[in-house]
Chains A and B, each alone.
Chain A
């Protein structure tokens, strides 16, 4: 079982290598840039897939966490602290080795936070915010949860857009490269393009491995149980609230990490990374790729993001994702890759059925504490 996972990841890396070699050989090395970006967006998406597909919680605000990571890293590595050298905070940070002097774009020198420290802060910030927000939000259900997450994403967007120190509408630019180990750097220079491609895909592979492990563990089973029949899971001793929260936080951290890396790669970040449309795109991709299918979601994400970044959808980019969302939800709510002929007929078949099947009924007719029966009776088992 374990070896199957390693094998899958190895296969994935092999494919990544093949694509890189092909691109370079065909003289189209510039494609690697969009592929690298796609890989980082995909990191966000697989985290979201865990949340939506396994824990069964929707989040239409995940771009917010990406932006939190990106902006934190960008701000900390570009805000010049040299004017505050005398202050206690700056001295303390300096003494701790958290600061570094580097040249800026205009020939001067700035005192900024080290990228590694900024990374740590960014991830911590996302973690704390996800916890703080997750506790009340995850108690909501259905459309309330959707709206709440939408609202949170919009708050992040508004703050990014409206705060001068964060560059307002222009965002933050001039973000320096992020030196990893042994001379490797996360940055956008053409000379390190190939290396960055592998950093991105390596990070993605690592993320996949961790999530695949998780999904096949006690936690993964518990999450699938929560998604399958939450009350029964609870009766088996699964602390559903805690698990949902932890999943939410994990997916937020993944998004933030992706945000940090992509910001260093792009050399900047803007408020559009936190927009509702971005969040909706993530959701659309998870929906298409199959909620709960990590590899399916990964493939879909790489393809769709790449096409979108290459401008394949032109000005209709947003519309395309909107249509994808509608189409998937209408015809294949379990995801296109999980599509079966019978499932696609479900909407039509459903009309011919007169009574709901008793085996899938959750909550008793007389129990007011179970979900209220509106016109749609009970959400069908796979109508997440």
Chain B
């Protein structure tokens, strides 16, 4: 059984059919990429999977359970985390605090406990802090912990966002154009990071434009065009697919 199963998902916005009966599967432990020209419906697909946009039709199953139509925080609670195309770090908070929010689902302190600060609350806070630092260390950004998140360099912000997404110990993480705005060196670093994430047992589904990154790290690649899936196979086969080449005519594919 695939970890994530999308069946015949569709979404229409006014006059535009953004996603048209798209089905795909992501197996446990895999890195899968979704590519396609601008406007192909990739981010809408992501938004449906992560619960931000309700689909018009179709089903989404995660670990066998239906999650279509669930609100984002419930989807996250199931073990599906995500990052955003335009980095959305929490302003006026340090990088570490951002990652600590990522651990929200792994902690329990509520309003009353938070006000009174019982001993177990303090212990929990310590634990959240330690684990978050650990995670930042794993991604090589432990040194940025006390910096104000939005003041960091773009590439560093990406890494913080990644750490935040991983802090809840998700089974799967959705990366929305993680390489956007990164230079070549930063992209190589990112590729390494994503592979290390997979080594930790987290399945990765990413949307990307950067072909070199996609071809380098993905196990499978799905191609969307005008809301429809036109290819879904290993990177080499997709590269040679005629329809895919046609769709990218005029753009660099590799």
**Contact, chains A and B (beta carbon distance below 8 A):** yes
Give chain B residues whose Cβ lies under 8 Å from the Cβ of A358. Answer: 86
Stretch at the interface among B112-120, B193-201, B246-254: B112-120
Contact with B along A207-237 (1 / 0, CB 8 A): 0001101100111111011001101111111
Across the interface, A235 reaches (CB within 8 A) one of B44, B82, B110, B113, namely: B82
B105 touches A (CB below 8 Å)? yes
Q: Is the CB of B117 within 8 A of A368?
A: no
Query: Which single member of B53, B87, B116, B168 contacts A213 (CB below 8 Å)?
Result: B116
What residue of chain A has the Cβ atom nearest to residue B102's Cβ? A236
Q: Is B27 an interface residue (CB 8 A)?
A: no
Decide if B91 is an interface residue (CB 8 Å cutoff). Answer: yes
Q: Which B residues touch A232, using CB under 8 A?
A: 84, 88-90
Chain A interface SS verdict (over half) = helix
Which residues of chain A are within 8 angstroms of B102 by Cβ–Cβ distance?
Answer: 236
Which range contains the number of A residues in contact with the other chain?
35 or more
A353 is an interface residue with CB less than 8 A from chain B? no
- Is A376 close to B, CB under 8 A? no
Residue of B nearest to A292 (CB): B92
Chain B residues within an 8 Å CB radius of A221: 93, 97, 100-101, 104
Q: How large is the interface on B (under 10, 10 to 19, 20 to 34, 35 or more residues)?
A: 35 or more
- CB-CB < 8 A to A225: which residues of B? 90, 93, 98, 101, 104
Q: Are B115 and A211 neighbours in the complex by a CB distance under 8 Å?
A: yes
**Does the CB pair A237–B115 fall under 8 Å?**
no
Contact A217 B39 (CB under 8 A): no
Query: Restricting to A275-308, which residues have a CB under 8 Å from any CB of B?
Result: 292
Whether B111 pairs with A231 at a CB distance below 8 angstroms is: no
| A219 engages B114 (CB within 8 Å) | yes
Residues of A near B86 (CB, < 8 A) are 358-362
In the assembled complex, which residues on chain B have CB atoms less than 8 Å from the CB atom of A235? 50, 52, 72-73, 76, 81-82, 84
Residue B71 is within 8 A (CB to CB) of chain A in the complex: yes
Considering the complex, give the chain B residue whose CB is closest to the CB of A217.
B114
When A217-B109, A364-B43 are in contact, do A224 and B90 touch as well, CB less than 8 Å?
A: yes
Contact of B93 among A214, A219, A224 (CB under 8 A): A224
* Whole-angstrom CA separation of A185 from B76 in the bound complex: 51
> How distant is B93 from chain A, measured CB to nearest CB, in Å?
6
Asked if A229 and B89 make an inter-chain contact with CB atoms under 8 angstroms apart, the answer reads yes
Complex-state Cα separation, A362 to B52, whole angstroms: 13
A350 proximal to B (CB < 8 A): no
B17 within 8 A of A: no
Which of B29-37, B121-129, B202-210 lies at the interface?
A: B121-129
- Most A C-beta atoms less than 10 A away, residue of B86, B101, B113, B124: B101
Q: Shortest CB–CB separation between residue B60 and chain A, in angstroms?
A: 15
Given contacts A235-B81, A366-B39, 15 further A-B contacts (CB under 8 A): A218-B124, A221-B93, A224-B90, A225-B98, A229-B89, A231-B52, A231-B84, A231-B88, A238-B73, A238-B104, A240-B73, A292-B92, A364-B85, A368-B13, A381-B150
A residues lining the B interface (CB < 8 Å): 2, 210-211, 213-214, 217-222, 224-225, 228-229, 231-240, 246, 250, 292, 358-362, 364, 366-369, 381-382
Across chains A and B, which 9 residue pairs bring their CB atoms closest together, nearest first? A228-B90, A217-B114, A237-B76, A237-B105, A232-B88, A234-B72, A210-B115, A229-B88, A219-B114
